[in-house]
Amino acid sequence: MMRFLGRLLSLIAIGIVIAFLFSVGSAIVAISGMSQLESTPPANSILVLDMNGIILDGEPFLTDLRKFREDPNIKGVLVRINSPGGVVGASQELYAELKRTKEEFAKPVVASCNSLAASGAFYAAMGADKIVVNPGTLLGSIGVIIEFANLERLYDWAKIERYALKTGTYKDAGAEYKKLTDQEKQMFQGTLDEVLAQFVSAIATGRKMDEEKVRTYADGRIFTGKWAVDEGFADKTGTFTDALRELKLLAGIEDSAKPHLFYPPEKNPGVLKILGLSPGSESSLSENIRLSAQLFGRPLFIMSGQFPIGK
Split at pLDDT 50, 70, 90, the class of 277 is very low
Domain boundaries, the chain: 1-34, 43-148+176-310
CATH 3.40.50.300 fits 43-148+176-310, yes or no: no
Spatial neighbors of 272 by CB under 8 A, at least 6 apart, are 278, 279
Out of 91, 119, 141, 304, pick the active-site residue. 119
Q: Which of 33-38's residues contact partners 24+ apart within 8 Å by CB, and which partners?
A: 34/265, 35/265, 35/266, 36/265, 38/262, 38/263, 38/264, 38/265
To the query of whether residue 99 is one of the catalytic residues in this protein, the response is no
Query: What residues pair up with 46 in beta bridges, in sequence order?
Result: 76, 261
Active site residue 166: no
pLDDT at 286 over 70: no
Cis check for the bond before 60: say yes or no (omega within 30 of 0).
Answer: yes
Say if residues 137 and 224 touch (Cβ distance below 8 Å): yes
pLDDT band at residue 282 using 50, 70 and 90 as cut-offs: very low
pTM to 2 decimal places: 0.79
The single residue of 171, 179, 236, 258 carrying the catalytic annotation is 171
Do 95 and 65 form a contact (C-beta atoms < 8 A)? no
Round to whole Å and give the CA distance between 275 and 93.
Answer: 34
Phi-psi region of 228 (alpha: psi -120 to 50; beta: other; left: phi over 0): alpha
Residue 306 has pLDDT above 70, yes or no: no
Q: Could you read off the pLDDT of 48-86 as tens digits, one per residue?
A: 999 999 998 898 999 999 999 999 999 999 999 999 999
For 288-291, the CB contacts below 8 A with 24+ separation are 291/54
pLDDT (tens digit per residue) in 123-153 = 999 999 999 999 999 999 999 999 888 999 9
Q: Which of 129-133, 291-295, 297-301 has the lowest mean pLDDT?
A: 291-295
Q: For residues 98 and 49, what is the distance between their CA atoms, to the nearest angstrom?
A: 11
Beta-bridge mates of residue 75:
none
